[in-house]
Structures are given as C-alpha cells and as structure tokens.
Amino acid sequence: MKKILPAIFLLLFGMCSTAWAAPSINYGYALMPDGNSFTSPYSNVTVETFNSIAANVGLMPTGYSGNGSVVSGSTGTHAAPYGLNGPDLTNYLAVPYSGSSLKSVTINFNTAYNYLGLWWGSVDGYNAIFFNNGSQVASYGGSDVAPPANGDQGNHLTNLYVNFLDLPSFNQVVLQSTSYALEIDNLAVGINPNHPVPEPSTLLLFGAGLAGISVYKLRKKN
C-alpha cells in the first residue's frame, strides 16, 4: 500500500492538472450552416456572430466600446473574412472604423474565460489582441498566429479560425489594429472547452476505487 498511495496521488494530480495546461493555439474550425463560414469547433462555448447587431456605421453596441463597427461586405478599409469557398456574407466586426487616433475596440465580459476563438480575416502584422483581467494577462499579434500576416484577403493562410486555449483567466479583450483593418467574425468564449474538468465527486469515486483495489491486492499478497 505504501507504494500504491503515491501512485494514486500522482494519477489524481495528473487528472486535475489538465485544468492548468500551458496556453496553446490551434486552427480547428467547424462550418456554419452556410457551408462556408468558419466558427468554433468546440460545442460548450458562447459565440457572437454579430448578425443580430445592426450594421451601424461607426457606432458600437452595448458591451463593446471603441473605434470599430459591425459591417458587411468589403470596402477600401475593411474586407470580409474569407471562408472555405468565398467571403463572409454576414455582418462582422471591423477595427478601426474611422481615422480617429483610437485604433481599438474593447469587449468586456461579465464573467472570466480562458478560451477565445475567432474567425480572423485578412490577418495583418499590425493586428493585435490583448487579454486583460485587471491587468494584461496575454497578447498576440497577427504575425504570432498567421505568418506571413500580409493581409491577403483570399488566402487561407491569412483567413483562418484561431483558437486560443488555456489562457490565463481574462474578462476583457482588446482588439487593436494600427491600420486598416482587423476583421473578425464568430467570436467564441468558453472555459476549458477542449478538456472539461472532471467533477470532484468523480475523482473521489475514482480514487476510492483505486484504493479499494490496492487494499484487496495487498491482503491477497499477505
């Protein structure tokens, strides 16, 4: 039993520690019903499609603030994200919108998350995402996630769904672009969508079961 107890402890610790995995990025996606648009591949997340937000010129709805706009189509200052076979035909978010000195949009969440997913269109080297929780906890530039980050509007290398996993807990995201533009759609947030944490009761039962087996084996041996 002396040798088995540490083993049980290590196993339980290993199961629990999946909740504290290092931050990582992947490019998995699911398709929206239109068969073209990229969205989060995870089921237990909340997705903002921007479709129910009116395409208000330069005016951000409640919950968002800054110099951006929900838009559709492509103009000289913003290009619809490119999907499997063509551009996004729905509303999406473009930052910045006008030429003011403010080049970012801030999104405040009423709870904390450690996952963010977004369909990032025409990724540019001057695009950046900041994750905050009182202070900044993580940040990524366009070149970090989609080199060459040259803003190509029809290339899958620069139009992809990006999943940021196992981030430090954040309740605010700042989307910044020092030039035109940062375009995103189907913004998703969640907590450990890639590895739901086992219920404590499940762990206890599992541990108790292992301990029982160990005792049984020990008695048999003796």
Chain positions contacting Ca ion, by CB under 5 A? 49-51, 90-91, 122, 124, 151, 185
Structural contact between residues 183 and 160, judged by C-beta atoms closer than 8 angstroms: no
Residue with tokens 């996630």: 145
Report strand pairing: 92-95 vs 69-71.
antiparallel
d(CA 166, CA 74): 33
64 burial (CB, 10 Å; 0-12 / 13-18 / 19+) is buried
d(CA 148, CA 75): 22
Structural contact between residues 95 and 177, judged by C-beta atoms closer than 8 angstroms: yes
Element of type H or E holding 221: helix 200-221
Structural contact between residues 50 and 93, judged by C-beta atoms closer than 8 angstroms: yes
Report residue 177 as tokens: 């672009």
**Cβ within 8 Å of residue 88, ≥6 positions away:** 36, 37, 80, 81, 82, 119, 121, 185
Pick between residue 156 and residue 217 the one whose CB is nearest to Ca ion. Answer: 156
